[in-house]
Structure 1
């Protein structure tokens, strides 16, 4: 009976002591905090309503002296993370950095706070429905995103915080800076971090890809962040000589050009549905690169493609006009219909029929080529994004897929001898010739009218 009473009293003291402990920390009463922590019935690892430890609570209230007392009494609590979903993974160091309390940050680091493995994976930090801000997960990214130079220098220079550490999204501190709203601060901190680490580490960090396959430069392009993109491109620029206002510079096009890469900046610009991304075509060196590509081989390829398509449509139109028809027998049909389609066996008898057959074969193979050329893009973008591109890049790809399917349907109906062949052929002719508007884009005088028609179509859709 006495033992049960003692257990009840200890539990009561422990519960009340925990409340007293948090109250003492809030009032920065170091003496009371030390006395309470020295009692055996007080659990130093007790947590508050948000999953915070007493060290989190002390740091949050900015009680430096109390933090010292807690670390003296319970050293092992230093890297204990918060456990609630909203603040999961945050250590006392994360909170001190967010509060930009340099003194407490120094104190925590001097007592062995982990800068390499502490990760805040809470819902208010990681992008999602309840995300309040995205500062990455590591202490270094927290310091960089708050723009605190002193803490950033301290973490990198003295305590070796890795700039190549990747969070659950695969983002390094450099990726995280690209996603910040304050562009001037982000550019400044980006420069500072790379100046603090060896050249080998800085180059490695700039070429690391996140889970989506984006380096910091590609991520800036994907977000349509013109300021950050221009800054990152200029960082890679090498000036060889300058005379007055004229300078000779070379840009690194490794991540910008489509050569030997599946996710270049040019690829991102052409496949993105974000309006701000398309503004990157006016940024140096993207503008100059596109101009050079067009002059070197793009214009020639475009002309060959255009002439081939027009010739193909002429062949298709010709074989459609001379498709196999025969007069109706006397007394059959009405006064409007004067011709009907021949059977498959009657369609290929004369020399003219076989000449038409050659044109029909060319038409079918052309439709197969068009469809096969679109399949890789559908697989790469996915059906939803592929269809969505019709509102930004024009409906031409969708029209060509529809054209190919109509040609296949007409061929099947021809083989079956069905009179409904005329319907898909008519629609294919309309779509095929309407799609020739696409080639007006390649000419300075007609290109603007092509874009106007495309915009009108997109608004109607």
Structure 2
């Protein structure tokens, strides 16, 4: 190597910026400088692997360590094209960084789900694939796995790049493959799971309705009622253990976060709560606590709510479930956050004013037996009564004997802020959500169904899974002279 090449390829040795050299100048968007450096012998496969360029660095920039990845991540398609196809030294698109990530993996990692960023990433991603195919490479770039055995598609799914999923599900042959699996075995398994859950729900409900009164545990005396009740209790607990195992296993594979929660994590959390609360009831039942009945109603209510999970088996009902889930997690959650502040704040003020009125009446020797006055001195009772005002069922008679007129101002302010303002805002937000999600709900439903298919496929025994997936496929791929691909079923 000449002295000029040695100078061009000289790199930093500091641990933070180790490996960075002159060709990384492409981040400054100077195409002519990059072209000149490559022409003079710059190494287009050198890696900048300092701590500043690591993926999980608190302050830094991860770009895949390679000059090609850096140009792709900074949206410079002209430099990407030049590095891949130049007469001097071409960059190897299949080259990987210390984590095993190719340039496609790196693009997936830096995606942030905003529309502008997604459009840029998708454009660069497609251009790299097109140019790679023009060079007649035999390696399938999208099939390369990193050190975690992740292809770019699998990595996008793991990182929760949600915006990429609906479009990917419409790409052939993935769309046809999922539909083929749904018709071949997933639909039958889904219906079977639905029927089993309905039977479980009927048993659980019957056990809760026909429980014995008194202090548990109860002896088995009457035949056959006690025997049937005991069998129903065992089946209910056994079902809860199955739900708990499945949800914990799912959380270990895919740790819950709000982004995934808005797509498919809502039902998993509700199933987990149902199972956990029922098992707590079993412990209280075994310890002889009669309060287990008060806790039992919660898993029973959640069990009926979880029946909505099976709406995704139908397209129309599944899209309706998507909208309802989005409203709960966004519009209703925001409404409740603001409403709780107003409800508890005004309840404390009303209770304080009512206590002050009661004290003055006692000092004047005019003790009354008004139930409303004495009851409104209790914060819990006041919260319930003010909630009635929110839904238009409040009772204004208790204000007749109020001593301080500011009390009316407080009550009117509360009604205006909650009954008139917040409820109408909630209705308007929900209407806007329905309009906004009318086009997205089908894509999200397709994504939920895809998750369901993969989960059921994963739950199959290996011999049965191999038997189902080893049949001859009805999809074929061919490529014509114009480099376009067609898929036939």
Distance in 2 (CA, whole Å) between partners of 1:150 and 1:279 is 29
Closer, same or farther: CA 311–373 of 1 in aligned 2, 3 Å: same
Kept in 2: contact 1:143–1:151 (CA 8 A): no
| 1:104 equivalent in structure 2 | 36
Which structure 2 residues correspond to residues 177-216 of structure 1 after superposition, within 5 A? 181=120, 183-196=122-135, 198-199=137-138, 202-203=139-140, 205-216=141-152
Superposed CA offset, 1:257-303 (max 9, x none): xxxxxxxxxxx28x936345334333433333333222222222121
Distance in 2 (CA, whole Å) between partners of 1:388 and 1:352 is 48
1:419 is displaced (CA, Å) by 0.9
Distance in 1 (CA, whole Å) between partners of 2:311 and 2:229 is 30
Distance in 2 (CA, whole Å) between partners of 1:448 and 1:458 is 16
1:185 is displaced (CA, Å) by 4.9
Is 1:314 the counterpart of 2:187 in the alignment? Answer: no
Q: Which of the two has higher C-alpha Rg? A: 1
Which structure 2 residues correspond to residues 441-460 of structure 1 after superposition, within 5 A? 441-459=312-330, 460=332
Which of the numbers 405, 421, 426 marks the counterpart of 2:292?
421
Kept in 2: contact 1:348–1:357 (CA 8 A): no
> Structure 1 or 2: larger helix share?
2
Question: Aligned Cα RMSD in Å?
Answer: 3.6
The answer to which of 393-402 and 81-90 deviates more is 81-90
Superposed CA offset, 1:212-254 (max 9, x none): 54324445xx1xxxxxxxxxxxxxxxxxxxxxxxxxxxxxxxx
| 1:303 equivalent in structure 2 | 191
Closer, same or farther: CA 356–273 of 1 in aligned 2, 3 Å: farther
| 1:68 equivalent in structure 2 | none
Distance in 2 (CA, whole Å) between partners of 1:442 and 1:357 is 33
Is 1:360 the counterpart of 2:233 in the alignment? Answer: yes
Which structure 2 residues correspond to residues 282-301 of structure 1 after superposition, within 5 A? 282-301=170-189
| 1:120 equivalent in structure 2 | 48
Which structure 2 residues correspond to residues 161-180 of structure 1 after superposition, within 5 A? 161-176=91-106
Distance in 2 (CA, whole Å) between partners of 1:174 and 1:273 is 14
| 2:264 equivalent in structure 1 | 393
- Please report the TM-score for the alignment, with normalisation by the length of structure 1: 0.58
Superposed CA offset, 1:435-454 (max 9, x none): 11222232244333323332
Closer, same or farther: CA 420–131 of 1 in aligned 2, 3 Å: same
| 2:291 counterpart SS class | helix
Kept in 2: contact 1:273–1:392 (CA 8 A): no
The answer to which of 310-319 and 186-195 deviates more is 186-195
Which of the numbers 125, 132, 137 marks the counterpart of 2:65?
137
Superposed CA offset, 1:32-55 (max 9, x none): xxxxxxxxxxxxxxxxxxxxxxxx
1:402 is displaced (CA, Å) by 1.2
Distance in 1 (CA, whole Å) between partners of 2:297 and 2:270 is 14
Kept in 2: contact 1:177–1:186 (CA 8 A): yes
Higher relative contact order (CA 8 A, sep 6+): 2
Distance in 2 (CA, whole Å) between partners of 1:196 and 1:276 is 27
Is 1:407 the counterpart of 2:278 in the alignment? Answer: yes
Distance in 1 (CA, whole Å) between partners of 2:234 and 2:8 is 76
Unaligned runs of 5+ in 2: 111-116, 334-489
Which of the numbers 11, 16, 22 marks the counterpart of 1:81?
11
| 2:407 equivalent in structure 1 | none
Which of the numbers 296, 303, 309 marks the counterpart of 1:438?
309
Closer, same or farther: CA 283–348 of 1 in aligned 2, 3 Å: farther
Unaligned runs of 5+ in 1: 1-70, 223-267, 326-340
Across the two proteins, how many residue pairs are aligned to each other? 316
Closer, same or farther: CA 395–87 of 1 in aligned 2, 3 Å: closer
| 2:19 counterpart SS class | coil
- Please report the TM-score for the alignment, with normalisation by the length of structure 2: 0.55
Distance in 2 (CA, whole Å) between partners of 1:369 and 1:182 is 41
Distance in 2 (CA, whole Å) between partners of 1:92 and 1:284 is 42
Kept in 1: contact 2:44–2:66 (CA 8 A): yes
Distance in 1 (CA, whole Å) between partners of 2:308 and 2:229 is 27
Which structure 2 residues correspond to residues 86-97 of structure 1 after superposition, within 5 A? 88-95=18-25
| 2:20 counterpart SS class | coil
